[in-house]
Amino acid sequence: MMIIAIIATWITVAILNKTRLSRLIAFPSITFIAISVFYVVAIDSFFLRF
């Protein structure tokens, strides 16, 4: 699950860099971690219901 979240985060960051929206982010490393946490929670709650 964590690997899928990291890959999705890399894709999201690549899209942000391509559209130049990443220049509006003050702390890119914290934003990367926050997006990763968002994807982990989303994958856990929507796709892997136990």
pTM, 2 dp: 0.82
pLDDT at site 27: 93
Q: Which of 46, 50, 30, 19 is nearest to 4 (CA)?
A: 46
DSSP category for residue 36: H
Mean pLDDT across the stretch 38-43? 93
For 42, the token pair is 């989303």
Q: Which of 23, 46, 24 is nearest to 8 (CA)?
A: 46
| pLDDT of residue 49 exceeding 80 | no
pLDDT in tens, 2-38: 899 999 999 999 999 999 999 999 999 999 999 999 9
